[in-house]
Amino acid sequence: MEQQPLISIVLPVFNEEETLNETILQIQHYINSQPATFEVIYVDDGSNDDSVELIRAAIQQYPSIRLVQFSRNFGHQIAISAGIRYASGDAVVVMDADLQDPPEVITQMIEKWREGYDVVYGKRRSRQGESYFKKISAQIFYRLLSKMTDTEIPLDTGDFRLMDKKVITQLKRMNETQPFVRGMVSWVGFKQTAVMYERHERFAGESKYPLRKMLSLAFDGITSFSVVPLKLANYFGGLLLAIDFLYLVIHLLIGNMTTDHWIIVNLLGIGGGLSIAVGMVGIYLERIVSQSKDRPLYIIDELIGFPYQSKITKKNLVKNAHGIRQSANG
């Protein structure tokens, strides 16, 4: 008989007492209907309501549930990072605890994973019950970010996704202090694909993402995956110097250079020069920033033809856990 994989589901929780019982119920119901084995990891991100008590009570009832309890609120992205770290599944699914991400979609994700994809992210076909402002700002943000970075971060996706164990292994190597998980997952590469889904309305309670947290997530995304802001000063300085040059040439050709004109030429020149000097600092800063992020220089998916090959690629092991290689090779 084919061995069933272990799937970890990670759910960050911050003051979700109004939804949690329903979430726990629906997730347990879902996993009982599936052939795979599951563990469900709730990461309490310093809730100050009864969330933790609800999870503790659920642990008494369901042996598949685990709790990682933070000492205070560290934020959604850090909660996800912690959950991933404590997950032991062959694949790990991250989803919100407010039932906006429907558990049934996990079935499609597992199917894609069994087909051989290493990351299957949920792409929102629609966002029900979210404010106009939230939808528009999210749209603008994702498009802006994709213009500013070389890492291809898919549009209209949140953190709802399934990741193979080998992706998790790489994520664990990335000790970033302001993690932007969806960017990091794109950055590590491997075979990635999407499944489309309808994003539901939050089951109960309010969004735990006030404007302040949303902006800070957006800034984390941009500053960890783009160096464009650091280079803006260079572009601006270059523009000023170009204007300065044209201004000078035109007035010299016309032959009407006055003291006022010289002052303007000097002002533009000083402004442009200073701006470029700042931009140069930015270019060196970029190197320090990327060095301090300490990301691996490259990630290897598979080494072929080396005598110690089987040791290095965990791929075969993982694939066996999916049951793919086994069934393919008989």
Which parts of this chain interact with Mg ion (CB under 5 A)?
96, 98, 100, 202
Q: From the CB of residue 169, how many other CB atoms can be counted at a distance below 10 Å?
A: 14
Contacted entry of Mg ion, ligand UDP, none for residue 121, CB cut-off 5 to 8 Å set by kind: none
Interface residue with ligand UDP among 7, 9, 16, 54 (CB under 6 A) is 16
8 Å CB contact between 66 and 86 = yes
Q: Does 97 bind ligand UDP (CB under 6 A)?
A: yes
Q: Does 76 bind ligand UDP (CB under 6 A)?
A: yes
Both structure tokens of 174: 């990335």
Alpha-carbon span 274 to 254, nearest angstrom: 29
Instruction: Tell the smallest beta-carbon distance from residue 30 to ligand UDP (Å).
Output: 16
Interface residue with ligand UDP among 28, 81, 100, 149 (CB under 6 A) is 100
Contacted entry of ligand UDP, Mg ion, none for residue 118, CB cut-off 5 to 8 Å set by kind: none
Q: Does 12 bind ligand UDP (CB under 6 A)?
A: yes
Q: Does 79 bind ligand UDP (CB under 6 A)?
A: yes
Residue closest to 44 by CA, chosen among 18, 75, 84 = 75
The residue among 212 and 311 lying less far from ligand UDP, judged by its C-beta, is: 212
The residue among 201 and 294 lying less far from Mg ion, judged by its C-beta, is: 201
Q: 41: helix, coil or strand? A: strand
Both structure tokens of 231: 């280079």
Interface residue with ligand UDP among 20, 39, 45, 318 (CB under 6 A) is 45
The residue among 117 and 180 lying less far from Mg ion, judged by its C-beta, is: 180
The structure tokens 């404590």 sit at 86
Interface residue with ligand UDP among 5, 8, 9, 14 (CB under 6 A) is 14
Alpha-carbon span 234 to 97, nearest angstrom: 44
Alpha-carbon span 28 to 30, nearest angstrom: 5
Contacted entry of Mg ion, ligand UDP, none for residue 54, CB cut-off 5 to 8 Å set by kind: none
Dihedral angle sign, alpha carbons of residues 77, 80, 86, 89: negative
Instruction: Tell the smallest beta-carbon distance from residue 158 to Mg ion (Å).
Output: 8
The residue among 99 and 230 lying less far from Mg ion, judged by its C-beta, is: 99
Write down the H helix ranges in 165-313. 165-173, 181-188, 211-225, 228-254, 259-293, 309-312
8 Å CB contact between 45 and 208 = no
Q: What are the residues binding ligand UDP (CB under 6 A)?
A: 12-14, 16, 45, 73, 75-76, 79, 96-98, 100, 202, 207-209
